[in-house]
Structure 1
Amino acid sequence: MQKIRNIAIIAHVDHGKTTLVDKMLHAGKLFRENEDTGELIMDNNELERERGITILAKNVSIDYNGYKINIIDTPGHADFGGEVERVLNMADGVLLLVDAFEGPMPQTRFVLQKALQMGLLPIVVVNKVDKPNCRPDEVNEAVFDLMYNLDATEEQLGFHTIYGSAKQNWMSEDWKNPTDNILPLLDAIIKYIPEPKTLDGTPQMLITSLDYSAYVGRIAVGRVHRGTLRENMDVSLVKRDGTVVKSRIKELHTFTGLGRSKSMEVSSGDICALVGIDGFEIGDTIADINNPEALKPIAIDEPTMSMVFTINDSPFFGKEGKFVTSRHIHERLIKELDKNLALRVEKSMDSDIWHVYGRGVLHLSVLIETMRREGYELQVGQPQVIFKEINGVKCEPVEQLTINLPEESSGKVIEMVATRKGEMLSMEVKNDRIQLEFLIPSRGIIGLRNNVLTVSAGEAIMSHRFHEYQPYKGDIEKRNNGSIIAMESGTAFAYSIDKLQDRGRFFIFPQDEVYAGQVVGESSKEGDLVVNVTKSKKLTNVRASGSDDKVRLIPPVVFSLEEALEYIKEDEYVEVTPTKIRLRKIILDENERKRVSKK
């Protein structure tokens, strides 16, 4: 039986977690052949690399000095909270990674709190100590204060701290004495993280994660809690509701390096993947065939936002994507449910509309962006918050919002959050920047990021996480400006856009193809404005001074997917295709729109 350590890594977005795991893998002598590629091995999904965030938790392991260290990478974004809790169930300890300049950040707090409640022991890693004006000792104190506030036990508060720079590939007990390798961290893991308790008896394993393979279907991943699992063993699958299904393990895999290797048997304490178990859900238990005992299932975060997905029925449908029919979209959404836990999908009976429920705008937009890159065309409606009735009172989700920004723009931001029914909890000055904390309804966050970045000239750092359901806070005023809508289909001309520039700001470039009912800009006043952007200049043979002046266009606003979702109104859709993101009215015909609005 190998000596095992199971650790999860917790860190705020961009504090160097994925880089650290990569360096630990190098230290485990796994990558001698392609060591100089400089690519991140962990975030191998295209979206993760672009945004620099971890979306899916991954498992890898390192062999070091006769120990097997299982490393579980966790997402830092609260929108992927569904991933975090399951992941921590497999660990015996956590590495808390903090930036030596920024210190512990709000989203670190979210995962850390869950870990401390589960009784996991932390090791603190203060990373990026090579940064100018870093303050490692102060940060270490701040981590202690944070853990104390999160009700950590005496044992958890006696944590061990390691300093270093993952990028420069060194770790040390004292940040003033750099070493030339990362091994002090691996030694600390072996010394301070407890080994998993081996329990004898009938086998038990909680399914905490899943993998998917086109050949064998869904693969159950989890940590063996008690006893030993063997290949071709008959087992019981105990569902959440207590029903028991007989099943058989066809193959057993353990994690080695970045991949998996087949194994004849896996004992209590190790993490493994089971092939051949059918119809399981996350939180089900694999147990003994004769007297099955269930483990306590994991609570998965409830969705707080919903969005309408529908097929693309605009005049341009099918021109840019490969998968455009309702069958394609339906199959893709059902397939996503296999992997994406916090997601729910409901199809309307009579029409091609799906209601997709998720953890936030980021969670849903990552799904839409992934589908778009795979060649799907679809339309999505405005994100809606899910209301609940608790004890006869209408309640809505409330989030804890943290904004870190320069002092001069703090007044405007506080006012902006207050109009969206946000309550301020605290205000601290940290190194000539101000850190604000609010409780704000989830509805109020939709569209807020854009405005905060505008006011702070792009300097604000904003993060939020779900807090709880609270009674409904009343109406929040939405975007007042109307939309500028194209009157006719055709090619947009610079000449006509130039003549309309005083009416508002545009979202299209000259020579873009537009269709009637497409939203091409934002009006500077209330109420929608229908304009003709396809009118070209009439040519005459009469020359007049000043009539041939150059057209001077203000550059159009280009939306990212999240910005577009947060921008649209109730009667608008975002049309998403592999090459374009367009905004449009749900009802394209102007007369029809007027008729409906009168009703």
Structure 2
Amino acid sequence: MDLRNIAIIAHVDHGKTTLVDELLKQSGAFRDNQTVSERAMDSNDLERERGITILAKCTSVEVGDTRINIVDTPGHADFGGEVERILSMVDGVVLLVDAAEGPMPQTKFVTSKALALGLRPIVVLNKVDKHDAEPDRALNEVFDLFAALGANDDQLDFPVLYASGRNGWADVELNGPRKDLTALFDLVIRHVPAPAQIAQKDEPFRMLATTLGADPFIGRILTGRVEAGTIKAGATLNALARNGDRIEQFRVSKILAFRGLSQTAIDEATAGDIITLAGMTKATVADTLADPSVTESIPAQPIDPPTITVTFGINDSPLAGRDGKKVQSRVIRDRLMKEAETNVAIRVTDTPGGEAFEVAGRGELQMGVLIENMRREGFELSISRPQVLFRDVDGQRMEPIEEVTIDVDDEYTGAVIEKITGPRKGDLVEMKPAGAGKTRIIAHVPSRGLIGYQGEFLTDTRGSGVLNRVFHEWAPFRGSIPGRRAGVLISMENGVSVSYALWKLEDRGRFFIGAQEAVYTGMIIGEHSRDNDLEVNPLKGKQLTNVRASGTDEAVRLTTPITLSLEQAIAYIDDDELVEVTPNAIRLRKRFLDPHERKRQSRASA
């Protein structure tokens, strides 16, 4: 069969995974009576809950005599490491753009990677049937984006389709028949070239591993595109590191190919196809799997370096070990190293003492997903505030700058601009009307200034604003940026919180806990109404006497406490605070100091 390898790229929530659902249905990948869940490619629990794609995944459809391998890529820049690896496997990209929103920051990030590899894009304007769709404006913005990213003439001469992924149609004209996705299938077959590797099918076998997985029955598996030659089950291969050193020699126990949503065992695969191999024990991502006669490895695509770091440590609070079973530093280290092996955008280093680990990644969302996965696996952790990584270039300190795109109601524009250009040291780049009473603001803001800003932004815009961010460049250090303004309320006792005590303390601030919750000394139970920290007693009950009179007792009615999500908690804490994460709870606390350090600090403050 003829082969086509494509990747579908888009900003978060522009309908990429929904479109893949329709491609699978209309190609006959499912039986007529087969029950298929919505967003079938989002197989991970967190992907389904959050409605975002986190892991890049492959599938394939058959259209006539052509098999199209489709790669569904993440839309968020925090998971860009997945995109950078996966694009090396394809020969073309379908860029999906919301006809109302136009190209967004994450679109820019992924598209820049695709254009740099020389891939010719197909632009699909999705959701053109929405009432606020402006396909002509969105198309002009896509062209401007391509030009700004340095696209060549062939890439700028891109074909365009108008589509509705949810309704399962795509047409060459905006007012076409709107029946099915035939136009998209035909365009992919015509516009995307067949893999150039097919011409090398008589050479010795070579394949670059791009994703690593594990199967409970066949063990370690590696997925990639066959760069040259033919492979049969039972063949002997070498695994080569990036420098050409041999890591191991192994026998291929199984060859799997993508057929619809499942992987099917095949006897033979040739150059150009995307396959999964089993049988290795040490080989990993970016290694070359090759015939024993091959001595040179295939160059791997460079991966952008991490921009933030978070410290993962053991949970040493008085409530440690009550929820989770995996609490030792050794077990935490093994899990983090396993993550770093499969996720090339993460870097793990040990700290002095070996009780904590520095995990560097792309952003708060990527860290939040990793921590959420670990707590669901039974881990207990203490997490520090994210810190931005700096660089020294010719003796000058450089910091990461992010491009922030904000869509906000016109009435809140002033408050947003004041926050990002004032204390957060951002530069306003562009401000324009976005229709429907909204304004689009584009600014370049230091990554440090955006840590913890999301919650404040939603408060300033009454929950109506949308903020998207993507790495822009490294720039000279812009000076100090103030942290959280408000202080916190800290428990001074161990025990269980009492309704009466919390009620009496409500004028001191807002609480993160309710009544009958376990607390301990040093645990942060609320936000102080002033800028200093305050120790309070949430266990103090009402003093009872023998005197009773009708009407003297007041009804205790507590204000609903604030429930922080994992990402909100990590962004909220200050440098001297930690987030305690267990399978059943997320708590905030002050760092515990040894007695000598506590005494030294008390003397210094005195």
- State if a TM-score over 0.5 links the two structures: yes
1:453 equivalenced with 2:458 (yes/no): yes
User: CA separation in 2, counterparts of 1:291 and 1:312?
Assistant: 48
Instruction: Letter of the 2:137 partner, please give it.
Output: E
- Deviation track 1:193-220 (CA, whole Å, cap 9, x = no partner) reads 1111123233332222222224444322
3-state secondary structure, aligned to 1:199:
helix
- Deviation track 1:321-361 (CA, whole Å, cap 9, x = no partner) reads 23222233223222222322211222335342121111111
Greater shift after overlay, 121-130 or 173-182? 173-182
Using the TM superposition, give the Cα deviation of residue 469 of structure 1 relative to its aligned residue in structure 2, in angstroms: 2.4
Work out whether residues 311 and 356 of structure 2, in 8 Å CA contact, stay in contact via their aligned partners in 1.
yes
Using the TM superposition, give the Cα deviation of residue 588 of structure 1 relative to its aligned residue in structure 2, in angstroms: 7.1
1:495 to 490, 493, 500: 500
Mark the CA change 1:118 to 1:548 in structure 2 (over 3 Å): closer, same or farther: same
Identity of aligned residues (%): 47
Work out whether residues 252 and 272 of structure 1, in 8 Å CA contact, stay in contact via their aligned partners in 2.
yes
1:235 equivalenced with 2:212 (yes/no): no
1:577 equivalenced with 2:576 (yes/no): no
User: CA separation in 1, counterparts of 2:353 and 2:594?
Assistant: 23
* Aligned counterpart, 2:145: 146
* Aligned counterpart, 2:261: 258
Greater shift after overlay, 372-381 or 234-243? 234-243
Mark the CA change 1:591 to 1:558 in structure 2 (over 3 Å): closer, same or farther: farther
1:420 to 417, 424, 428: 424
User: CA separation in 2, counterparts of 1:149 and 1:348?
Assistant: 42
User: CA separation in 2, counterparts of 1:597 and 1:85?
Assistant: 50
* Aligned counterpart, 1:276: 279
1:296 to 293, 296, 299: 299
Using the TM superposition, give the Cα deviation of residue 83 of structure 1 relative to its aligned residue in structure 2, in angstroms: 0.8
Work out whether residues 8 and 74 of structure 1, in 8 Å CA contact, stay in contact via their aligned partners in 2.
yes
How many residues of Structure 1 are paired with residues of Structure 2 in the alignment?
A: 598
3-state secondary structure, aligned to 1:39:
coil
User: CA separation in 2, counterparts of 1:452 and 1:279?
Assistant: 46
User: CA separation in 2, counterparts of 1:592 and 1:420?
Assistant: 32
* Aligned counterpart, 1:401: 404
* Aligned counterpart, 1:436: 441
Instruction: Letter of the 1:273 partner, please give it.
Output: T
Using the TM superposition, give the Cα deviation of residue 491 of structure 1 relative to its aligned residue in structure 2, in angstroms: 1.7
Work out whether residues 209 and 222 of structure 1, in 8 Å CA contact, stay in contact via their aligned partners in 2.
yes
* Aligned counterpart, 2:3: 4
* Pairing of 1:194-273 with structure 2 (within 5 A): 194-197=193-196, 198-200=198-200, 201-245=203-247, 247-250=249-252, 251-273=254-276
Ranges in structure 1 where 5+ consecutive residues have no aligned partner: none
Greater shift after overlay, 183-192 or 230-239? 230-239
User: CA separation in 2, counterparts of 1:85 and 1:597?
Assistant: 50
* Pairing of 1:164-175 with structure 2 (within 5 A): 164-175=163-174
User: CA separation in 2, counterparts of 1:392 and 1:234?
Assistant: 50
What RMSD in Å do the two structures reach over aligned CA positions?
A: 2.0
Greater shift after overlay, 97-106 or 2-11? 97-106
State TM-score, norm by structure 2.
Answer: 0.94
User: CA separation in 2, counterparts of 1:580 and 1:108?
Assistant: 35
Mark the CA change 1:484 to 1:589 in structure 2 (over 3 Å): closer, same or farther: farther
Instruction: Letter of the 2:372 partner, please give it.
Output: E
* Aligned counterpart, 1:121: 120
* Pairing of 1:79-90 with structure 2 (within 5 A): 79-90=78-89
1:525 equivalenced with 2:524 (yes/no): no
State TM-score, norm by structure 1.
Answer: 0.95
Using the TM superposition, give the Cα deviation of residue 589 of structure 1 relative to its aligned residue in structure 2, in angstroms: 8.7
Mark the CA change 1:513 to 1:453 in structure 2 (over 3 Å): closer, same or farther: same
Greater shift after overlay, 154-163 or 563-572? 154-163
2:543 to 520, 538, 542: 538
Work out whether residues 104 and 405 of structure 2, in 8 Å CA contact, stay in contact via their aligned partners in 1.
no
User: CA separation in 2, counterparts of 1:523 and 1:237?
Assistant: 57
Mark the CA change 1:192 to 1:506 in structure 2 (over 3 Å): closer, same or farther: same
Work out whether residues 42 and 48 of structure 2, in 8 Å CA contact, stay in contact via their aligned partners in 1.
yes
* Aligned counterpart, 1:313: 316
Instruction: Letter of the 2:557 partner, please give it.
Output: R
Using the TM superposition, give the Cα deviation of residue 234 of structure 1 relative to its aligned residue in structure 2, in angstroms: 3.2
Using the TM superposition, give the Cα deviation of residue 228 of structure 1 relative to its aligned residue in structure 2, in angstroms: 2.1
Using the TM superposition, give the Cα deviation of residue 429 of structure 1 relative to its aligned residue in structure 2, in angstroms: 1.6
Work out whether residues 11 and 76 of structure 1, in 8 Å CA contact, stay in contact via their aligned partners in 2.
yes
Ranges in structure 2 where 5+ consecutive residues have no aligned partner: none
* Aligned counterpart, 2:347: 344
Greater shift after overlay, 338-347 or 44-53? 338-347
Work out whether residues 400 and 474 of structure 2, in 8 Å CA contact, stay in contact via their aligned partners in 1.
yes
- Deviation track 1:214-233 (CA, whole Å, cap 9, x = no partner) reads 44443221111222233333
Work out whether residues 6 and 70 of structure 2, in 8 Å CA contact, stay in contact via their aligned partners in 1.
yes
Using the TM superposition, give the Cα deviation of residue 90 of structure 1 relative to its aligned residue in structure 2, in angstroms: 0.7
Using the TM superposition, give the Cα deviation of residue 93 of structure 1 relative to its aligned residue in structure 2, in angstroms: 0.6
User: CA separation in 2, counterparts of 1:590 and 1:488?
Assistant: 17
Mark the CA change 1:364 to 1:170 in structure 2 (over 3 Å): closer, same or farther: same
User: CA separation in 2, counterparts of 1:104 and 1:291?
Assistant: 43
* Pairing of 1:156-167 with structure 2 (within 5 A): 156-167=155-166
Using the TM superposition, give the Cα deviation of residue 35 of structure 1 relative to its aligned residue in structure 2, in angstroms: 4.3
User: CA separation in 2, counterparts of 1:192 and 1:30?
Assistant: 23
Mark the CA change 1:367 to 1:480 in structure 2 (over 3 Å): closer, same or farther: same
Greater shift after overlay, 375-384 or 52-61? 375-384
User: CA separation in 1, counterparts of 2:394 and 2:305?
Assistant: 18
User: CA separation in 2, counterparts of 1:325 and 1:277?
Assistant: 29
User: CA separation in 2, counterparts of 1:519 and 1:546?
Assistant: 35
1:331 equivalenced with 2:330 (yes/no): no
Using the TM superposition, give the Cα deviation of residue 37 of structure 1 relative to its aligned residue in structure 2, in angstroms: 4.6
Greater shift after overlay, 512-521 or 434-443? 434-443
Using the TM superposition, give the Cα deviation of residue 597 of structure 1 relative to its aligned residue in structure 2, in angstroms: 5.2
1:131 equivalenced with 2:130 (yes/no): yes
Greater shift after overlay, 253-262 or 75-84? 253-262
1:355 equivalenced with 2:354 (yes/no): no
